[in-house]
Chain A
């Protein structure tokens, strides 16, 4: 049952890449969200899917009754989701501030650090 999910990941990545290549910074941000979701899903799938019970140990047992969902990718994804959220929050704040300062969300016009035609210095 991983097949369709792998396809979903591919679609998310494709859309994310397409959006990230746009000129608009907001689109870039949306692409980032898509890709981070896709990455989480990819980890989830490669840890093998199961419709079985969550990875819990019932009272009175030392080990979970087989089979349970693989707990390791879940732990990884939990971390990734939270860190992804931190990244997105920061990126959003950065975009807001950039718009405030530069008055545009067009990445091609944001050329203060790397001016369009830098004057070439002659080597001494």
Chain B
């Protein structure tokens, strides 16, 4: 019985791996959120907290963190939304075989995001930036058996890494310009940076990085594909975290980089274009999750657009909208996940009438969607009013920004209807299986989130003073106050809101016709960014294959040619740069025996180079070895000469042992003179000679030799300085050398012994 019981418990454990971890998973983010809330009053009072350690002091890089209003807001969103995501994921992925791995990735991602927003040093920020890239790659590709998921993950990784590299370059330029990677110092030197000629390169590099991360045009295509991730991941990555990293960076560096025409125009146009493209794409979708993904892109475009301005109303709108968006988007993604899980489809055409069987989900969806659509009294309404106020306050192009904002919001209203009304109202489709309400673990998180949206809408001061104002101060660099209110009286923003509702509702009602028109339109579009991406990858692959065929063609002589040509190019470059042409060298006198040694060496080399039969070449090489040994001997190196002779002898023994196995005695093939190789050889030889002569022109620097000469007797008690160096000062090198020779001997014996054992065939 006991054995059976054991098996059972093991089975149940296997059936539900990571039960404990999924129960405990909300604890770390909860603790973090509470700690952050504890500091909230400090932050809203304008205090900044910083801590850290020195990391790479030589490069001025330190692992530095600091918390001001902006990083506090982001950190709170990341950990706070993280709590709800972990609760939701525990139910959503219940029983998944790789649950532990999931939490590992999720926490890695959370740590990356938190480090990113809390970084007080550009390099620290970059490191955490890359951690989020890698973690998001793992999360998007979590369903690793699906080829689509793997492709999407790789695409997200490549696009964001590409941006990351540009970002690193931008940071390095910025750091060298301001003289420090320290965030506080960088933020304080906005004037210097904007006046510098490096401003535009820095700006463009950093913008590429943050646009790639935040899915702005033209790097937008990875975001919809990233919907291959499990829904909790999408809810987290695309509401409060990953895609907001780029927005965070824009806001963070706002005091340094903003307030120029370039900044304003790039951000406003990119943001508006992204929002518009995403809005059109969102209307086309029948997949609820994809529709939400495109509204995320709308939101990101809007945020970018507002951050382009330095009007305080616009920035305030961006920050408030950021909070609003995090709440409703996370909730709606979770709702879509619930629908998907309960019915098995996310296709809105196939869904309907779920409201009666899933009332709690319906209510949650409705509450979040109303916030998303910007209906009073939800927080979304305040966010939207602020947006319109901000749009009108944008100095450069209020008309463009306002139009884009109204259009984007109208589409958002439509998508809100698509997600919250279409699946729940109408007739229950007969081909849909019987479904029932989801478990509390699934709906509790979105429910709380939508309630928060309502609470903050009714009492906007809860977020206004504590969160938005400090963040606003951090972005603008000067203390700002903001008054969040539901009712501002009848003004232009209110009229624009009414226009938005009208437009959005009209589009929702005429969705079918709109979609047909868009489908026709998109079919006739010449190409899409996603296709272009595939094409460019294909091109890269083609190029790789092409250059591999050139370089790795399997012909050893060609490899060697490449190597020698490269050597000559670099040597010529070094010679040209040093500018030392040793032509006026006074050729000194050598005595007869020295000339004889040189002649022997050169003669041996010449013979070896031209010999028709290998045996003659071997003899010539022997002569050359003796010549070199003589040179050593004549110029004060008897030890080297002795070793050289010894090695020559050993080599002769070895050759004699192996020669019978080789076709050296057979009449050699006709060896033709190869002028091209001779030319290359001559060039390398000439360059080496010139390099040596150039080196000889520089004054001799001999402290190391002097040290050995001085220290040989007193410290090492040896009178042969060369020997002392080998066996005493550099004994470890000699030991390594012995190992090398020993290894070579073992390898050679193995090769030859193999042959010996088999015997002649």
A is bound by B: yes
Top-8 shortest CB links A-B: A69-B636, A14-B685, A114-B554, A10-B689, A86-B744, A93-B748, A17-B681, A18-B681
Contacts of A87 in B (CB 8 A): 744
User: Are A12 and B709 in contact (CB-based, < 8 A)?
Assistant: no
What is the distance, in angstroms, from A48's C-beta to the closest C-beta of chain B? 5
User: Known: A86-B745, A90-B748, A93-B751. Contact between A107 and B658, CB under 8 A?
Assistant: no
User: Are A46 and B751 in contact (CB-based, < 8 A)?
Assistant: no
User: Are B721 and A57 in contact (CB-based, < 8 A)?
Assistant: yes
For the complex, count residues of B whose C-beta is within 8 A of A.
Answer: 101
Contacts of A82 in B (CB 8 A): 643, 647, 737, 741
Partner of A107, one of B556, B655, B663, B671: B556
A–B Cβ pairs within 8 angstroms, 21 of them: A3-B587, A5-B631, A19-B609, A22-B677, A26-B662, A34-B605, A54-B637, A54-B722, A55-B721, A59-B719, A63-B709, A68-B709, A75-B725, A79-B737, A82-B741, A84-B647, A86-B740, A95-B662, A97-B754, A100-B661, A120-B545
Contacts of A102 in B (CB 8 A): none
Closest to A39 in B: B688
Partner of B637, one of A27, A69, A88: A69
User: Are B686 and A10 in contact (CB-based, < 8 A)?
Assistant: yes
User: Are B685 and A6 in contact (CB-based, < 8 A)?
Assistant: no
Main DSSP-derived SS at the A contact region: helix
Q: Which of B37-45, B475-483, B492-500, B726-734 interfaces with chain A?
A: B726-734
User: Are A10 and B636 in contact (CB-based, < 8 A)?
Assistant: no
Partner of A34, one of B624, B719, B730, B752: B624
> Other CB < 8 Å A-B pairs besides A3-B588, A4-B590, A11-B602, 11 of them?
A10-B689, A12-B602, A12-B624, A12-B685, A53-B636, A86-B743, A86-B744, A89-B651, A94-B751, A96-B755, A114-B554
What is the distance, in angstroms, from A37's C-beta to the closest C-beta of chain B? 5
User: Are B692 and A2 in contact (CB-based, < 8 A)?
Assistant: yes
What is the distance, in angstroms, from A22's C-beta to the closest C-beta of chain B? 7
User: Are A93 and B752 in contact (CB-based, < 8 A)?
Assistant: yes
User: Are B741 and A83 in contact (CB-based, < 8 A)?
Assistant: yes
> Scoring B residues 686 to 709 as 1 if CB is less than 8 Å from chain A, else 0, what string do you get?
101100110110001010110011
User: Are A33 and B755 in contact (CB-based, < 8 A)?
Assistant: no
> Scoring A residues 2 to 45 as 1 if CB is less than 8 Å from chain B, else 0, what string do you get?
11111111111111111111111011101001100110111011
Contacts of B677 in A (CB 8 A): 17-18, 21-22
Contacts of B640 in A (CB 8 A): 44, 74, 77-78, 81
Partner of A20, one of B560, B605, B705, B751: B560
The distance in angstroms between the C-alpha atoms of A53 and B637, with both chains bound, is 9
User: Are B636 and A55 in contact (CB-based, < 8 A)?
Assistant: yes
The distance in angstroms between the C-alpha atoms of A115 and B608, with both chains bound, is 31
User: Known: A78-B640, A82-B643. Contact between A63 and B684, CB under 8 A?
Assistant: no
What is the distance, in angstroms, from A11's C-beta to the closest C-beta of chain B? 5
